Chain A
Amino acid sequence: MLTIRNLTVKMNEQIILHDFSLTIPEGEIHALMGPNGSGKSTLAYVLAGKPEYEIIDGNILFNGNDILSLTPEERSVRGIFLALQYPTEIPGVGNSYFIKAALNAKLKHEGKQEIDSFEFLNLIKSHLKELNMAESLLHRSINDGFSGGEKKCNEILQLLMLKPRLAILDETDSGLDIDTLKTVSTAVNRLKDPQRSILVITHYQRLLNYIEPDVIHIMIDGKIVLSGDKTLGATLESKGYAGIIEN
């Protein structure tokens, strides 16, 4: 599904990802952990195509095709979804209107008809329920005045609506209370599918108790230094990153 080969990325004259490689096969959930400033969010942004990063070397293959030359919107309609760590507020633009436009952009790319308004409403309401979100959030401006938790849930709502092939969750768990964390995790687990891959970026083992990864990667200074199965999380919790680097 996703193959990143020897990727080197610069921003503001500083190398952030250095000779970075990662492969996520179809249907797997991978977790990416690492200390602050190790380049996790940069990786997420680079996958989504955020413009201000400079790609020095390497490539990113998504379903076998190099996506580095694609715009963010082209990547999105092809099935790459990034749930942002800090979701952006857009005052004035209705939340459900926005999500519908996003869904229709994807349907259009797939050569399908736009979604019928009633069908859309039924679908989004069922996902709202799944996430314990208030229906009023549909009629408000995108993330405008949302609480931290509501913003994160709104990202997951979009994830559920768009059903991407590759979902990248950038610290979705930070700022969530324990009940919401469980709700969100349950929703993400339900998305597990042999056709879909998920990359979970987190600081905490806690999330991985609810979303069980197939592989955990530890990233330090722009590079993956260690990969292992789900037990790696527990090791990390007890030893810390310093302990892992020593070994």
Chain B
Amino acid sequence: MEKSNQSELNSLLEKKYTAGFETNIPSVSVGLGLTEDIIRAISEKKQEPAFLLEWRLKAFRHWLTMKEPHWANIHYPPLNYQSYSYFSAPEDHIVPKSLDEINPELLKTYRKLGIPLEEQKVLAGVAVDAVFDSVSVATTFKEKLAELGIIFCSFSEAAQKHPELIQKYLGTVVPYHDNFFACLNAAVFTDGSFCYIPKGVKCPMELSTYFRINAANTGQFERTLIIAEDESYVSYLEGCTAPIRDKNQLHAAVVELIALDKAEIKYATVQNWYPGDENGQGGIYNFVTKRGLCKGKKSKISWTQVEMGAAITWKYPSVILKGDDSVGEFYSIALTKSHQQADTGTKMIHIGKNTKSTILSKAISAGLGQNSYRGLVQVFPHADNSRNYTQCDSLLIGSLCGAHTFPIIEVSNPSSIVEHEASTSKISDEQLFYCRSRGLNEEEAIALIVNGFCKTILQKLPFEFAVEAKRLLEVSLEGCIA
């Protein structure tokens, strides 16, 4: 019995990361390393307006004075930033006018990933911007959105066609000097998505971006900017994958959200970057700065994330609640197994009066995985009657993993209320036996318990995304009991 169990587990453990294939497309890179010349080359290749190049160079010069931060509860050997290539594009890349112009190899890649690029799938109601290595390869459904005045395109295209919007908002939520990785991104970002919802428009479909790192030794530095004008609404989904590589690949993205009066932005991420192998070799280093600004009164920004990939995750999607009566939400599931490390959480900065924020964090650790929740709830002196509710739950599978929480609460307003609840539990042998004695195998039992644990967060995702996230969680959990 012992033996058969062991071989069964081994075969499950050997199950590979399913998004780990490589696409064979010749690519153009700018060469390894980072210099002002490289930045100029990137900017030139992308035919950017002059202000953008200036901004990049300012960021780069500032970045040279900064040090890689090491306050997070993650451990990795020093990164050599000169060993990465800061721009990689499929060779024949020209901005496609229609899907017919896209390299069929690329389309095949996205099809393998289950991304609805083709028209027929687009009709299912998701508009997709796909970023392959550093460039955006297709933005579907653009025309239909354009009728409503919605702009949804690659960042590069927006820089050319709507420079006034970029100039007005770029760096207003995450300034170029914000932190080491955001600063690096500001200097070298290559593409990303741009989204603008005009006043009073409720975006009728989910907008979606898929990021994929394909080329070896490439850092992916995408930058996303979403602006929701007064009384508008948008729901945005982001998915990420990468092929299996021995070496760690760097990913340092920046996302900025701006919600004006009574606007609402929902931003959801399912992050499934390659996590490295069972010995901790390879995997993506994911250093991401995501921040939303509730600039207008009664505006609302909601982050939902399912983080289950990447060797290292360093990510704190935050909301600055500047407008009175604005609302910020953060819903998170973070799964770490094998040698994965995640240090993730949020910041809720209450500046306006009657601002509300909710933080719900569910961390699952298995194998040797280490999971840290790091959160800051800050209430400014004038933020009268503000409220925060935080709940951090950790679930441990096995006895070699770890869960940590680092909550910081700073309240400078006497009429505000901040609540924090936390729990840590472990899947017990008794629970496993109970499920098994009812006919469910170990994998099914763990999936059942983990899904139950995550339920409240999964419910926040759009339905189809929730189904996908649930399935990915189940796949990720296979064999983790060993």
Contacts and interface: CB of A to CB of B under 8 A. Distances in A.
- A and B together in one complex: yes
Interface of A: 48-52, 68-69, 71-73, 75-77, 81-82, 84, 87-88, 90-94, 97-99, 101-102, 105-106, 109, 141-142, 158, 162
Give the interface SS of chain B, mostly helix, strand, loop or mixed. Answer: helix
B169 interface: no
Contacts of B439: 73, 76-77, 102, 105-106, 109, 162
29 contacts: A51-B429, A69-B1, A71-B5, A71-B436, A73-B437, A73-B441, A84-B434, A88-B430, A90-B431, A90-B434, A90-B435, A90-B449, A91-B425, A92-B452, A93-B451, A93-B452, A98-B435, A98-B448, A99-B438, A101-B438, A101-B448, A102-B438, A102-B439, A102-B440, A105-B438, A105-B444, A141-B452, A162-B438, A162-B439
A145 to B, nearest CB: 14
Nearest to B436: A72
Interface of B: 1, 5, 425, 428-431, 433-441, 444, 448-449, 451-453, 455
A69 B3 CA distance: 11
A76 B436 contact: yes
B455 A92 contact: yes
Given A51-B429, A76-B436, A93-B449, 19 more contacts: A68-B1, A69-B1, A71-B1, A72-B436, A73-B436, A73-B438, A75-B437, A76-B437, A84-B437, A90-B434, A90-B452, A91-B452, A92-B452, A92-B453, A97-B452, A101-B440, A109-B439, A141-B452, A158-B438
B99 to A, nearest CB: 38
Residue in B430, B438, B444, B451 whose Cβ sees the most chain A Cβ within 10 Å: B438
Contacts of A142: 434
Residue in B430, B433, B444 whose Cβ sees the most chain A Cβ within 10 Å: B433
Given A50-B433, A51-B433, A71-B436, A92 B441 contact: no
Give the interface SS of chain A, mostly helix, strand, loop or mixed. Answer: mixed
Contacts of A88: 428, 430-431, 433-434
A212 B422 CA distance: 49
Nearest to B8: A71
A232 to B, nearest CB: 30
B423 to A, nearest CB: 9
Contacts of B452: 90-94, 97, 141
B437 A93 contact: no
Contact of B437 (A49, A91, A92, A101): A49
A163 B433 CA distance: 19
Nearest to A84: B434
Contacts of B448: 93, 97-98, 101
B61 to A, nearest CB: 50
